Amino acid sequence: MKFPLYSRVALAVDIPTERIRRGDLATVVEHHAAPASGGEPGYSVEVFNAVGDTLAVLTVPESSLEALRSDEVLSVRARTTAA
């Protein structure tokens, strides 16, 4: 498992249907093993707004997540109707 449960990660892709953008923070809530056919492992992640309300719970492949780095700065954005 690349990302431990309950760790914070950044989305590496936009998810327009949920108005989620690349760089938005999420918390890992479940790990999904790769399918027997050799596919990519995945994760369920929960995305919160700035005050802690859940915006979305997503299931994404591992490649859609990025580890947070010490040289990054957190910021906030308005959740607009289009990602």
Tens-digit pLDDT string for the chain (83 aa): 799 999 999 999 999 999 999 999 999 999 999 988 888 999 999 999 999 999 999 999 999 999 999 999 999 999 876 54
Question: Strand 25-32 and strand 65-67: pairing?
Answer: unpaired
What pLDDT score was predicted for residue 31?
A: 97
Kindly report the backbone phi and psi dihedral angles of residue 8, in degrees, each rounded to the nearest multiple of 5, phi listed first: -90, 140
What pLDDT score was predicted for residue 38?
A: 81
Supply the DSSP string of 41-70, one letter for each residue: -EEEEEEE-TTS-EEEEEEEEGGGEEE--T
What pLDDT score was predicted for residue 81?
A: 62
Helix (H, G, I), strand (E, B) or coil at 32: strand
What pLDDT score was predicted for residue 83?
A: 47
- Which domains does the chain possess? 8-67 (2.30.30)
| Cβ atoms of residues 42 and 12 within 8 Å | no
